[in-house]
């Protein structure tokens, strides 16, 4: 849970590239209401602040497209080819629901994650600056000892290269080719294994 004051501060400073792992309820179709951002408005969703947990931080690599998001719009795309709906399906009812969501690399839109990895290897100072910004972001959202959840190999590599004082859990990227049900099954298995200490 966070306060309204903290929520508004985070929204003002980070909502252009971050969001929360809270989505509107799915209707008949898997992608239904995935882009409904009213769920992230505490004036409309009175339960929102109690659902939010800055001690879970889900981390993707970067924006895939150079688009200007609405506040909290990242990870809530209604584009037909977007796969954000798989994240909603996988996290619903899990301990990761309500976590903070962000990209480790800001202001570097690129669809191919391999290209981002190559760029980072050649531009270590750029990577270090993004890590410094990420550390500030964690502090600003009120995360004291957060679990970092890495979406895929590339962001997991970046986090493990630069952050040794926080626990990192790698889960598959939501854009992987597996369907929503197998994706959820794998994510829940990884969460369960972590809880068991495996």
Which of 13-17, 36-40, 52-56 has the largest mean confidence? 52-56
Q: Is the pLDDT of residue 113 over 90?
A: no
State the DSSP H helix or E strand holding residue 171, giving kind and residue range, or none if neither: strand 168-171
Please provide the DSSP assignment of 139-169 as one string.
HHHT-SSPEEEEESHHHHHHHHHH--SS-EE
**For 127-185, how does the pLDDT look when each residue is reduced to its tens digit (9 = 90+)?**
999 999 999 999 999 999 999 999 999 999 999 999 999 999 999 988 878 888 998 99
pTM of the model: 0.92
Delineate the domains of the chain, giving CATH numbers in brackets. 4-196 (3.40.470)
- Greater confidence (56 vs 183) lies with 56
- The span from the CA of 92 to the CA of 25, in Å, is 9
Average pLDDT over residues 14-26: 91
């Amino acid at each position: 849970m966070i306060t309204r004051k903290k929520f508004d501060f985070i929204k003002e400073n980070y909502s252009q590239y971050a969001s929360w792992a809270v989505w509107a309820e799915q209707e008949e179709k898997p992608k239904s209401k995935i882009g409904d951002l009213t769920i992230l408005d505490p004036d409309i969703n009175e339960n929102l602040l109690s659902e939010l947990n800055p001690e879970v931080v889900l981390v993707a690599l970067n924006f895939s497209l150079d688009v200007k998001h609405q506040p909290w719009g990242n990870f809530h795309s209604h584009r037909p080819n977007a796969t954000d709906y798989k994240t909603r399906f996988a996290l619903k009812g899990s301990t990761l629901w309500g976590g903070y969501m962000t990209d480790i690399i800001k202001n570097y839109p690129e669809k191919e994650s391999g290209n981002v990895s190559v760029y980072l290897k050649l531009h270590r100072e750029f990577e270090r600056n993004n890590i410094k910004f990420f550390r500030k972001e964690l502090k600003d959202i009120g995360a004291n000892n957060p679990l970092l959840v890495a979406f895929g190999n590339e962001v997991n590599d970046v986090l493990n290269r630069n952050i040794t004082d926080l626990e990192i859990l790698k889960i598959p990227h939501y854009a992987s080719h597996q369907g929503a049900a197998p994706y959820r099954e794998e994510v829940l298995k990884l969460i369960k294994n972590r809880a068991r200490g495996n």
